[in-house]
Structure 1
Amino acid sequence: MQVAYVQYNPAYLQITQNLKQVEALLEGIEADLIVLPELFASGYFFRSHEDLVAVAEPIPEGPTTQWMIEWCRKTGTVMVGGLPERDGDRFYNSAVAVGPEGLIGRYRKVHLFYEEKLHFSPGNLGFQVFEVADRNGQLYRLGVMICFDWYFPEAARTLALQGADVIAHPSNLVRPDCPRAMPIRALENHVFTITANRYGVESNGRETLRFIGRSLICDPAGRVLQEAPPEGDQVGIAEITPREARNRRITPHNDLFEDRRPDCYRLS
């Protein structure tokens, strides 16, 4: 199946403009799974809580999720992308997985980074894996994590233990080390990973963040199948076979998960 990331530079709070830009980038792209960045249509570094309130959306009826669903209906693809979710009086840094039939599921970011803690509540849904199909009807298992979750090995491992073949990773990365770490996350869990990052700069009026680009797709052997440059729009595409993630045998005597010794690990 064909998988893709979208790397671009969204305009702050300009949801309609940003959706049009992503649509233009995806014109003519054939893919079974498309991963978009974290908060891909709203911008990231909120200057005030009021700015977040202005762009936060309910799921699935908000404009960003509805645009994604409509795109999937037209193309038959599955899409994962990040948005600021409003649920009553709470706000979450969320990602949705959608397909031609509508909403597949949502994930609320567990590990909040930097000033996200000033605006968002920590995710309360845990890490989830969704069974989805490619355009030929072949089923695979899709896990979702967001940006800073990569820093915690437990996040990708939890998804892999739940049977994820592919981990979608919407991101707004500012640290330079994630592109070095994601091949390791893929290798140590024997999964495919798709990191979709943005580039450019954004200011909250007191500080400026520079996003590193370098979106990438990794295979279960830790090989980088596709990587974007630090700057510039790019839709990166790779051909993968999700079932390759399911054989976790390392030698005739070793299996990545069967050899685990939880009784010997101290995790808290």
Structure 2
Amino acid sequence: MRAFRVGFVQGRPRFGRTAENLERGLALAEGMDADLAVLPELWSSGYVFSSRGELAALAEDAATGPTARALRAAARRRRRHYVAGFPEMHRGRFFNSAMLVGPAGVKAVYRKLHLFEREQEWFEPGDLGLAVHRVGPARVGLLICFDWRFPEAARTLALMGADVIAHPSNLVFPDAQWAMRTRALENRVYTVTANRTGADDRPAGRVAFTGRSQVVDPAGRVLARAGRGESCARAARCDLDAARDKGITPLTHLFRSRRPGFYRTLVAPVGAARRRTRRRVG
């Protein structure tokens, strides 16, 4: 068995307290036995922005900002990799992003593809696409929060060879954790959802979060879980061979049984898909 340990950090960041949030999150992760530690979405900043100016003051460069520096130092000290969410500024544009950082520095940046609610007022939709990255013996893909609603994203990462999907989140729907169990089961991968707790109660509105971070195995079983309001870090062991075995039965293979030629509507714009359906029905 090729083993790889993954874990999540769950807690409540204080809005606008970047240095404090990073210090608290990394302190929670410090004693965790994990090769990969995942922190929540927008962990460095908090979630509910009140203005574009407020976002600009907290947004960071992915290579040189405080999140990159803090994670790089922790990765070197602990000899592990981290994933954490942060508000990214790139060439005057803002993204809801997550970075994968190891002892050598920032390894990858993912920009959230599917923006939720008022995120659309402040952030640009992600433009870097989906990718899988080597972390020791494991192959790791990244999604952020509301990406869970789009099974095509997780399936794409699985088809690209992901063993583990890291999922930094600020989840608000109570069924999202169940959906991530489904993403794990339907793709036979491990999923690591790092959610935050508490609420951001700000002039722009109040948003409460559901906690219940989790590590899920390729059979959809929860290996590690936090409560709704806990501040904690928990980890579990992944069997990478199990994630790479896509056999459902001796004669049935999850990916070789696919019929991609019949799924074209999945990647067609909504209007085109409806026109195609009307032609077939008519």
- TM-score normalised according to structure 1 size: 0.96
Match of 2:207 in 1: 209
Match of 1:264 in 2: 262
Matched, 1:36 2:34: no
Distance 1:206 1:66, change over 3 A: closer
The Cα offsets for residues 100-125 of structure 1, whole Å up to 9 and x where unpaired, read as 11111110000000110000000001
Provide the rounded CA distance (Å) in 1 between the counterparts of 2:219 and 2:15: 37
Shift of 1:30: 2.5
The Cα offsets for residues 235-265 of structure 1, whole Å up to 9 and x where unpaired, read as 0111112221011011121100000001112
Q: Secondary structure at the match of 2:198?
A: strand
Q: Is the 8 A contact 2:88 2:97 kept in 1?
A: yes
Match of 1:136 in 2: none
Provide the rounded CA distance (Å) in 2 between the counterparts of 1:57 and 1:121: 15
Provide the rounded CA distance (Å) in 2 between the counterparts of 1:97 and 1:58: 14
Shift of 1:206: 4.1
Q: Is the 8 A contact 1:165 1:242 kept in 2?
A: yes
Provide the rounded CA distance (Å) in 1 between the counterparts of 2:173 and 2:31: 32
Q: Secondary structure at the match of 1:37?
A: coil
Provide the rounded CA distance (Å) in 1 between the counterparts of 2:173 and 2:28: 25
Equivalent residue in structure 2 for 1:22, among 25, 28, 39: 25
Distance 1:123 1:206, change over 3 A: closer
Q: Is the 8 A contact 1:46 1:52 kept in 2?
A: yes
Provide the rounded CA distance (Å) in 2 between the counterparts of 1:26 and 1:144: 19
Matched, 1:94 2:97: yes
Q: Is the 8 A contact 2:112 2:144 kept in 1?
A: yes
Q: Which runs of 5+ in 1 are unaligned?
A: 134-138
Q: Is the 8 A contact 1:47 1:203 kept in 2?
A: no
213-222 or 28-37: bigger deviation: 28-37
Provide the rounded CA distance (Å) in 2 between the counterparts of 1:20 and 1:29: 15
Please provide the CA RMSD for this pair: 1.0
Equivalent residue in structure 2 for 1:126, among 118, 124, 129: 129
Give the AA of the match of 1:59. A
Match of 1:65 in 2: 68
Match of 1:174 in 2: 172
Trace 1:46-195 onto structure 2 (pairs within 5 A): 46-133=49-136, 139-195=137-193
Provide the rounded CA distance (Å) in 1 between the counterparts of 2:218 and 2:84: 22
Matched, 1:249 2:252: no
42-51 or 142-151: bigger deviation: 42-51
Give the AA of the match of 1:159. L
Q: Secondary structure at the match of 2:157?
A: helix
Q: Is the 8 A contact 1:10 1:41 kept in 2?
A: yes
Q: Secondary structure at the match of 1:240?
A: strand
Provide the rounded CA distance (Å) in 2 between the counterparts of 1:152 and 1:27: 33
Q: Is the 8 A contact 2:32 2:234 kept in 1?
A: no
Equivalent residue in structure 2 for 1:4, among 3, 7, 16: 7
- TM-score normalised according to structure 2 size: 0.91
Larger Rg: 2
Provide the rounded CA distance (Å) in 2 between the counterparts of 1:237 and 1:132: 16
Q: Which runs of 5+ in 2 are unaligned?
A: 269-282
Match of 1:228 in 2: 226
Shift of 1:75: 0.7
Q: Secondary structure at the match of 2:64?
A: coil
Q: Is the 8 A contact 1:140 1:243 kept in 2?
A: no
Shift of 1:56: 0.2
Provide the rounded CA distance (Å) in 1 between the counterparts of 2:191 and 2:204: 34
Which of structure 1's runs of 4+ aligned residues deviate more than 6 A? none
Q: Secondary structure at the match of 2:186?
A: helix
